[in-house]
Amino acid sequence: MTDTDPRFTALGARPGKIVAVHLSYASRADQRGRRPATPSYFFKPSSSLAPSGAEIVRPAGTELLAFEGEIALVIGEPARWVAPDAAWSHVASVTAANDFGLYDLRANDKGSNVRSKGGDDYTPLGPSLIDAREVDPAALRLRTWVNGAIVQDDTTAGLIFPLTQIVADLSQHFTLETGDVILTGTPA
């Protein structure tokens, strides 16, 4: 795969890492009946990326393909051991994402989401990037439509873990490198 691969059009290049948050919105936590004390994460392969509007194919033998509208952060400056008050300066841009998952395979994954969310084209991004310096990370709105109807509508004010906390927390565990993508979780 090269940087001209259409899956990486919005980003301009293949990301080194895609890190996703398991549960981050209060509305989703309330649906699940549990509110985590700390964020938890899983990795997605870069081959799961797709351009916005790409067709998503549900494999034969599966039935439960689910959408999860999310805000994606693209790292600009590498981040290692950063504090929450400095975290946003390491984010280059923000874009729309959908973290599709095959819920038929979820139980087998036991939280890793390798099979349920790692499929080719299961992470559409874009279509464009918004400069992170031009937005307030505490006041972003996320809306998801299915067949023309709004099915998710929340803001980052509804996050259990603010975007800056997520970036800072991840940087305590490994270096977030230029071009890495963080999927920040989905609301109810």
Tens of pLDDT, residues 11-44? 989 999 999 999 999 999 998 888 999 999 999 9
Stretch 135-145: mean pLDDT, rounded? 96
pLDDT greater than 70 at residue 3: no
Average pLDDT of the residues of the chain: 92
Q: What is the CATH number of domain 6-54+61-183?
A: 3.90.850.10
Which band of pLDDT confidence, cut at 50, 70 and 90, is reported for residue 122? very high
Q: How is the chain classified by DSSP, letter by letter?
A: --TT-GGGTTTSS--S-EEEES--BHHHHHHHT---SS--EEEE-GGGEEETT----PPTT---EE--EEEEEEE-S-BSS--HHHHGGGEEEEEEEE--EEGGGHHHHTT--HHHH-STT-EEE-S--EEGGGS-TTS-EEEEEETTEEEEEEEGGGBSS-HHHHHHHHHHHSPBPTT-EEE-----
Query: Over 80: is that where the pLDDT of 2 sits?
Result: no
Question: For residue range 63-100, what is the model confidence (pLDDT) as tens digits?
Answer: 888 999 999 999 999 999 999 999 999 999 999 999 99
In the prediction, which pLDDT does 38 show? 95
The residue that leads in pLDDT, 57 or 25, is 25
Rounded to the nearest 5 degrees, what angle is found at the Cα of 159, between the Cα atoms of 153 and 160? 145
Total number of residues shown for the chain:
188
Residue boundaries of the structural domains of the chain:
6-54+61-183
Cα–Cα distance for residue pair 42/154, rounded to 1 Å: 22
Q: What is the pLDDT of residue 56?
A: 87
User: Residue 22 is which amino acid?
Assistant: H
